[in-house]
Structures are given as structure tokens and as C-alpha cells.
């Protein structure tokens, strides 16, 4: 077992060490805080670090273990976790990366936070994100950019870029992200870590700042699939406080192999990829699965509507966002940009004009237009119909295959600034993460190689609520790639480690 205090110690080994008394929760937390202090100035993964809160929680765990009031079998015992800053922690500032929530303190804990703590996790702080989750590079945060630990001149991906960078650089063994159209998977892919978006409805959204409620899903990022599965076990399950939370029985990964598994491949996710090294790395991973007893099924005859999906997503997500974000008007949440005598309309206008960023405004305008009288049927209703067709197409594909394996993104991490002035190019990068989101499917990003110093990744997509199988298949692949527990080299960002 690796040293539980080292930067590459994972969730499983830390929990085992704390359970066995080889390390205290406090020592593990102190080690994580020391790494954040040393490395975050170069990466900027964190928006807030709660050193005092983390130390107090860890000390309480240690005392509870000594007194026998904390269960030793807790799956995340003493495991430090970083939370994307759109997840509410009672009393702490939650900004969602926006100036409109600057200084806003959440009145309650998100269900995922309650569950993580109940499983023994220690919250380290909040990570950077594109404003309200709208973006693919973490460059649209109102609080500055985050750098990719493998190459500081490149983006970490987004919108959960802070969470991915924190895990990749060894500052945290576990982070939580949210994924609406790829925001866990794409940053995980760009930063060379594993990231899991569970089936829609599997993890409670209570206490997550809503972006597009019919798509939003919380999930873990870590440096191994085993670690993802431990976190999944802690956070998945029905929550009466989230009306869209599913009551479907929860299946856990069994560690079963892939003998007899039908691995679907599809041109849009593999053969048509522009990036040759990504293609080759994914093909090698699939070849390993075949050696282990899986069978490849070509699904090219099913039109998975990946081209249409992008338009459908940006329309529906923007429509939902325009509605969800209407609550931010300077009255109930965050600062206000007008004096009392200016009147209500002026106060709304001034606050929203000044405190929303350009990308958020673009989405609100697009979404409001798509929902407006006269255009609603032409855009919103048609997009909903197309979403149903896309779901049906995946259902057809999954009649012949148990999982679909392909790329997460068309290319590895791109340079900082390369796409900020070009929204369409930025959106096009989401073309392979969005289709599973629209269909509500579980999907996992897994490192599968390196090219020119940058991580390559593949995506495992499963049937609705077949999350356990997705984790099992990823485990089988990871065993062959040997890429678990990797931390970005210090040379990547010029710091000693």
C-alpha cells in the first residue's frame, strides 16, 4: 500500500490506513492542505480552502474512532474531498463561479455533502468552474482561470476544471464535479484522471446550483476506478428532497470480468475521430478487452444523432438555464447593484447586467428567445422531440451491445485562450459527451494513454441505471492500461513536490 500521506494515495488506501490506525484523519488532512499550499498557487484549482473546517472535521473523526462512535467500515474514512463551487455547504460561500453570487453563503448542506460526510469524508474546500457550469475550459469563471497540471499553458477542461486539476496534481484524492453535457468527463479526460457521470437521477441534485435541471448530475473524480466506485457507493441513491431522484434499486459494481461482454463501437465516437493518437489508444484498450473475452459489435448502422445532439443540447440547456437563472436578481441571493429608490426593474437590470458574465448572458438570451411565444414550438418543442429520438437511438444500440466505448472529446487539452473568442468551436468540443447526457446514460472518462505530454482518454457509456457495469468495464480496462494512481509530474507546473 502506498504511503497514505503521499500525493498519489487514493481513496481506498487512505480509508484503509485510517481504518487500520496507520494514519490519523488529521494527518491525512494536514498533508493535503500542505500540498494545496505548495501547489495551488501555480494551478489555481481552488476558489476557497477551508483549512480550519477540514482540521476540525478530521479531528472529530479521529476522536470518534477512538471513542467507537464513528463506524470503522465507513467507505471514505478520513478521505479529503474537494467540492465544485456549485455545491452548497452550510455557512460557506458558494459562488458557482459567478459575481452574482459573490459572498453568498448557503443556508444548508447539499445532500451529496451530507452523504460524503456520513461516509467519513473531510471537505477541503471549493474548486473553480465555468460560471454556473457553462463552459468547457474553466476560462469562463469570474474568478480567474485554472491551469492543466500536465501543461500549464493548456486548459484543464471544464466546467469542473478545478476539481479535475486538484485530483490530477495530487492536491486531493477525490473531488466532486457536476456534469450537464460533459463537465465531469471532459476535464477528467484533459487532466488524466477518472471521472464518472452516473445515470440521471442516481445522485441527488438537492443543494446543487441548477444549470439545466433535466441534465444536471453530480459525480466523482479520482485517480482510479476503485476510488470512483467507493465515492459512488457513498453518494448514489434516492433522496426525497430531489423530485427527480430515482427510486430505481441501486446496483453496486461486482468486479466481474468482461468475458462475454458486448462492446459497442460507433464511427462518431471512434473511427471518425480527428486525433489519431486518441483513436489508437482507444483501439488498444478495446483490443485488451477482446483478449479478456469481450466481443466487439459495430453499431455504425444506428444513427446516434450526434450532429443533431449538439444543437438540441445548446437549445434545451440554454432554455432551462434562462429559467433557472431568473432567480438571480439581487433580491434574495448575492449583492445588489442599485439603490432603494431606483425601483425594482432597474435593480434587477443593473445587477444582472453587471454581475453575469458574457457566456451566461449569451445562454440566457438564446434560451429566452427559444422559449418565447411564437418560437416555443419551432425550437423548444422540436428540440424535445429530437431528444426523444436520440434516446430511442441509444436504446436500439444497447439492444446489441452492453456498453459503448469511444472518445470523451475529439482532441486532448487545448491551449489557454484558443477558443474563448469562438463559442461554436468551444461547443463542438462537447459533441461526444452531450449525447449520453441527453439520454440520461451513465458515462465514465478513463485515462488510456499519453500523447506529447498530454493525457488521452476514453469514454465508457452504459444503459440507463447500468452504472455498476460501466464501473466494472472501466476497472477491467484500467487493469490493462496500468494508469491508475498517476499524479501529474511536478515539471508540468514547475513546482517541487
- Sign of the dihedral defined by the CA atoms of residues 78, 83, 88, 93, in that order: positive
The position carrying cell 437521477 is 201
User: Which residues bind to ligand GLN, rule: CB under 6 A?
Assistant: 133-136, 159, 179-183, 211, 317, 430
Residue numbers annotated as active site? 84, 159, 183
CA 189 – CA 179 distance, rounded (Å): 13
The position carrying cell 476540525 is 56
Least distance (Å) from ligand GLN to the CB of residue 282? 21
136 or 204: CB nearest ligand GLN: 136
181 or 449: CB nearest ligand GLN: 181
**Closest alpha carbon to 410 in 437, 379, 434:** 434
Least distance (Å) from ligand GLN to the CB of residue 217? 9
CB half-sphere exposure, 465, CA atoms < 13 A: 11
Contact 39, 495 (CB under 8 A): yes
- Ordered strands of the 194-197 beta sheet: 46-49, 122-127, 80-84, 174-179, 217-222, 194-197, 443-451, 454-462, 403-407, 262-265, 295-298
347 or 366: CB nearest ligand GLN: 366
13 or 160: CB nearest ligand GLN: 160
70 or 134: CB nearest ligand GLN: 134
Extract the C-alpha cell encoding 60. 472529530
Extract the C-alpha cell encoding 71. 463506524
Extract the C-alpha cell encoding 391. 434516446
DSSP for 342-386 reads G-HHHHHHHHHHHHS-HHHHHHHHHHHHHHSTTTTIIIIIHHHHH
CA 204 – CA 217 distance, rounded (Å): 8
Closest CB to ligand GLN belongs to which residue? 183
Amino acid at each position: 500500500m502506498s504511503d497514505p500521506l503521499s500525493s498519489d494515495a487514493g481513496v481506498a488506501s487512505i480509508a484503509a490506513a485510517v481504518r487500520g490506525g496507520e494514519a490519523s484523519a488529521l494527518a491525512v488532512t494536514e498533508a493535503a492542505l500542505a500540498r494545496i499550499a505548495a501547489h495551488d498557487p501555480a494551478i489555481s484549482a481552488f476558489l476557497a480552502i477551508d483549512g480550519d473546517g477540514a482540521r476540525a472535521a478530521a479531528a472529530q473523526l479521529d476522536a470518534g474512532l477512538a471513542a467507537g462512535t464513528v463506524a470503522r467500515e465507513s467507505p471514505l474514512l478520513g478521505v479529503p474531498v474537494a467540492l465544485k463551487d456549485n455545491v452548497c455547504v452550510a455557512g460557506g460561500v458558494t459562488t458557482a463561479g459567478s459575481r452574482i453570487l459573490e459572498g453568498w453563503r448557503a443556508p444548508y448542506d447539499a445532500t451529496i455533502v451530507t452523504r460524503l460526510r456520513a461516509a467519513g469524508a473531510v471537505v477541503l474546500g471549493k474548486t473553480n468552474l465555468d460560471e454556473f457550469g457553462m463552459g468547457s475550459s474553466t476560462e469562463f469563471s469570474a474568478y480567474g482561470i485554472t491551469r492543466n497540471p500536465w501543461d500549464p499553458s493548456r486548459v484543464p477542461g471544464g466546467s469542473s476544471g478545478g476539481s479535475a486539476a486538484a485530483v490530477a496534481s495530487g492536491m486531493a484524492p477525490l473531488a466532486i464535479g457536476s456534469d450537464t453535457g460533459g463537465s465531469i468527463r471532459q476535464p477528467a479526460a484533459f487532466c488524466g484522471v477518472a471521472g464518472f457521470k452516473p445515470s440521471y437521477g442516481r445522485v441527488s441534485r438537492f443543494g446543487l446550483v441548477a444549470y439545466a435541471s433535466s441534465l444536471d448530475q453530480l459525480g466523482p473524480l479520482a485517480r482510479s476506478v476503485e476510488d470512483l466506485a467507493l465515492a459512488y457507493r457513498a453518494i448514489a441513491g434516492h433522496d426525497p428532497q430531489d423530485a427527480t431522484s430515482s427510486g430505481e434499486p441501486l446496483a453496486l459494481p461486482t468486479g466481474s470480468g468482461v468475458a462475454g461482454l458486448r462492446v459497442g463501437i460507433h464511427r462518431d465516437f471512434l473511427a471518425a475521430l480527428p486525433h489519431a493518437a486518441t483513436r489508437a489508444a482507444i483501439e488498444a484498450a478495446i483490443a485488451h478487452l477482446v483478449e479478456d473475452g469481450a466481443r466487439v459489435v459495430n453499431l455504425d448502422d444506428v444513427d446516434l444523432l450526434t450532429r443533431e445532439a449538439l444543437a438540441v443540447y445548446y437549445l434545451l440547456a440554454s432554455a432551462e438555464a434562462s429559467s433557472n437563472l431568473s432567480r438571480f436578481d439581487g433580491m434574495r441571493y448575492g449583492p445588489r447593484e442599485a439603490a432603494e429608490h431606483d425601483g425594482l426593474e432597474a435593480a434587477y437590470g443593473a445587477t444582472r447586467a453587471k454581475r453575469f458574465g458574457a457566456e451566461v448572458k449569451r445562454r440566457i438570451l438564446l434560451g429566452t428567445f427559444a422559449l418565447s411565444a411564437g418560437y416555443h414550438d419551432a425550437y423548444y418543442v422540436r428540440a424535445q422531440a429530437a431528444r426523444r429520438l436520440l434516446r430511442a437511438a441509444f436504446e436500439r444500440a444497447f439492444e446489441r451491445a452492453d456498453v459503448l466505448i469511444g472518445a470523451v472529446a475529439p482532441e486532448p487539452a487545448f491551449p489557454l485562450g484558443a477558443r474563448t473568442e469562438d463559442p461554436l468551436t468551444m461547443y463542438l468540443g462537447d459533441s461526444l459527451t452531450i449525447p449520453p447526457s441527453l439520454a440520461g446514460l451513465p458515462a465514465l472518462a478513463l485515462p488510456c494513454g499519453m500523447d506529447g505530454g498530454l493525457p488521452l482518454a476514453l469514454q465508457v457509456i452504459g444503459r440507463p441505471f447500468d452504472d455498476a457495469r460501466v464501473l466494472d468495464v472501466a476497472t477491467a480496462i484500467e487493469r490493462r492500461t496500468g494508469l491508475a494512481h498517476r499524479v501529474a509530474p511536478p515539471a508540468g507546473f514547475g513546482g517541487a513536490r
